[in-house]
Structure 1
Amino acid sequence: MPVTLLNPEGLPKTDAYGYRQVAIATGTRQVHVAGQVAYDANGQLVARGDLAGQVARAYRNVAIALAAAGATFRDVVRLTFYVVDWKPEMMPAFLAGIEQVAAELQISPAPASLIGVSVLFEPGVLVEIEATAVVG
């Protein structure tokens, strides 16, 4: 397996939030997925006003992009989340969105950053997800 994920001793445990602190990649090909949002195949925003629903759809779009490059979430070494008007009390809805698709997409707990932003590129878009993967 080209990606090993771990939480080193001395760093906070992040299992409850679904990510690890470190990814070690041994593959030879990098895959960089542009920020994905909750658009369907027709370019229509889904789950308007629903953070969990938008997180789930954005994750599905990341999975589609990864598959097009011959990768899966097992190959992901880094995720970056941008969330509009982020507040800590939004974490349950954010995690619920991940939970909706975790088994379906076989999401691995790659290192991740969650960045609160005031606005994304279009009104109604609540979350954007970028991914980096390394494959054989």
Structure 2
Amino acid sequence: MHVPVRHIDPEGLHPVPGVLSHAVVVPEAGLVYLSGQVAWNQDGELVGAGDHGQQARRIVRNIDVALAAAGTDRSRVVKETIYIAEYRPEVAGPIIDALRSGATTPPPAQTMVGVATLYDPGFLVEIDVVATL
């Protein structure tokens, strides 16, 4: 059985054609999966060099754009995975603060993983989420 999916690369996010879709919607399951979002602007430029918290705030903005394009929002996130380069316990707080800013619902399931590096050494945080529609 073939389950139809919809691939979304919304305005406002840096396009990466042929590499990834920012969001994949599975309407039959009522789910949307986001690719890991990093702190880049729509032109692919790094935002918040050297600052985990500033990068997390940009990532939250990117997540909001992708989820809105899929027809949902952060209140519907059920799982988030956070990858942190140069992890130290003190950098987790600003990342969590950014993710919870404006939140009115209980936090989703979460996994936080310290990694040696992300695909580009300038990026310190990458977050992917799964949300319901």
TM-score norm. by structure 1 comes to 0.70
Quote the residue 1:133 is aligned against: 131
Q: Percent identity?
A: 35
Quote the residue 2:89 is aligned against: 88
Higher relative contact order at CA 8 Å, sep ≥6: structure 1 or structure 2?
Answer: 1
Contact 1:77/1:133 (CA < 8 Å) preserved in 2? yes
The number of residues matched between the two structures is: 105
In structure 1, C-alpha distance between the alignment counterparts of 2:88 and 2:96, rounded to whole Å: 13
Contact 1:51/1:126 (CA < 8 Å) preserved in 2? yes
Quote the residue 1:70 is aligned against: 71
Structure 1, unpaired ranges of 5+: 1-26
Quote the residue 2:19 is aligned against: none
Quote the residue 1:52 is aligned against: 53
In structure 1, C-alpha distance between the alignment counterparts of 2:90 and 2:79, rounded to whole Å: 24
Structure with the higher fraction of residues in helix conformation: 1
Kindly tell me: are residues 107 and 65 of structure 1, through their superposed partners in 2, closer, same or farther at Cα, counting changes over 3 Å? farther
- Give 1:1-136 correspondences, 5 Å limit: 28-98=29-99, 102-103=101-102, 106=103, 108=105, 109-135=107-133
Structure 1 segments of 4 or more deviating over 4 A? Answer: none
What's the CA shift for 1:43?
Answer: 0.8
Query: How well do the aligned residues superpose, as a CA RMSD in angstroms?
Result: 1.8
What's the CA shift for 1:90?
Answer: 2.0
What's the CA shift for 1:98?
Answer: 3.6
Kindly tell me: are residues 107 and 56 of structure 1, through their superposed partners in 2, closer, same or farther at Cα, counting changes over 3 Å? farther
TM-score norm. by structure 2 comes to 0.72
Contact 1:29/1:134 (CA < 8 Å) preserved in 2? yes
In structure 2, C-alpha distance between the alignment counterparts of 1:131 and 1:32, rounded to whole Å: 6
